[in-house]
Structure 1
Amino acid sequence: MNIFRALHGAFVALLLLTLTACASDDRLVIESRNGSHPFTVEVVDTPETRAKGLMYREALAPDAGMLFDFKETREVSFWMSNTLIPLDMVFITAEGLVANVHANARPLDLTSIPSDGPVMFVLEIAGGRAKELGIAAGDRVVHDRIKNGATAG
């Protein structure tokens, strides 16, 4: 009976670890000067998924977003083609620091929105949320894909 309990316990622990590993990619936290701000994110990390992004979406919850993982540090540029809702774009370094924020990108606008230097990630959130939450350059972003060797400044 003790062996059964031990095996059962090991199985449950393994199952919980697996579920945690699978679920962690959708949790992101921005640590700003006025607190921690959690988001549930969709991660896009292929050319096809990054190209589509949040196009054609009619709404985005205030605590939701999309994390673009470019898998290398480089300058990036976005536009709002076929994007129906205003978005804030949070440009993030490989170390997890917010490099810059572009607030309230206009729906359907084809104007280029560049990073202010090389980044590895971009978080898109509902337009106006960055200002509302006090998210700014120098804040730290915590996510399983981001190496957090940097500190908020």
Structure 2
Amino acid sequence: MKIFRCSALLILLPFLISCGNDDSPERIRDTESNGRTIDPTHTVEILTEDRQETVAEVNVALAQTENERNRGLMEVQEMDFDTGMYFIFEDERERSFWMVNTPLSLDIIYMDSNDRIVRIHTNTTPYSDRQIPSESPAQYVLEVNAGFVREYDIREGMHVVLNQ
């Protein structure tokens, strides 16, 4: 009897795993020639410390579910310069990202629950398993192409606001 249950579970396991994938086709799709691409559905504005001036705008795909956040920009080989991914977490705490299976060099921007930038890491190393920590509590993360932060002189203390 136990052998039958284990065999049935092994047969169903691939199906159960594939049912748990929350990557929506309208936001992220696989392509044969260039790996994954992202289709932005929202924009974010990066504002000065006093929130009076927009420094930059980024078209973003949202990563809201655990599966979307875990996959992030893995296998994405190219994106427009003003495109990125905006990660939304349920709570604010110290976070850490890595670049495993990510071929692009990125700038990673961590924000707290008040949308204030608390930490920036620039020019990350593709495919690296080195942890890239927020070093402060963060609830949101914005990943953009390497060089974006420098191009727009984005600094800690500025704000990133998601446009709905």
TM-score by length of 1: 0.75
Alignment partners' CA distance in 2, 1:143 and 1:56: 24
Question: Residue 27 of structure 1 contacts residue 143 of structure 1 at CA under 8 Å; is this kept in 2?
Answer: yes
Task: Note the 1:1-153 alignment, pairs <5 A.
Answer: 26-32=42-48, 35-144=54-163
Specify the SS of the correspondent of 1:88: strand
Q: Give a deviation string over 1:48-104, Cα, whole Å, max 9, x none.
A: 110100000111211111001012101110000000010000001111100010001
The alpha carbon displacement at 1:35 in A equals 4.5
Per residue, is there more strand in 1 or in 2?
A: 2
Q: Which runs of 5+ in 2 are unaligned?
A: 1-40
Percent of paired sites with the same residue = 31
Q: Which has the higher helix share?
A: 1
CA RMSD of the aligned region, Å? 1.8
- The Cα shift of 1:116 comes to 1.8
Q: Scaled by the length of structure 2, what TM-score is found?
A: 0.70
Unmatched runs of 5 consecutive residues or more in structure 1: 1-24, 146-153
Q: Is the partner of 1:104 in helix, strand or coil?
A: coil
Could you list the runs of 4 or more consecutive aligned residues of structure 1 that deviate by over 4 angstroms after TM superposition? Answer: none
Give the total of aligned pairs. Answer: 122
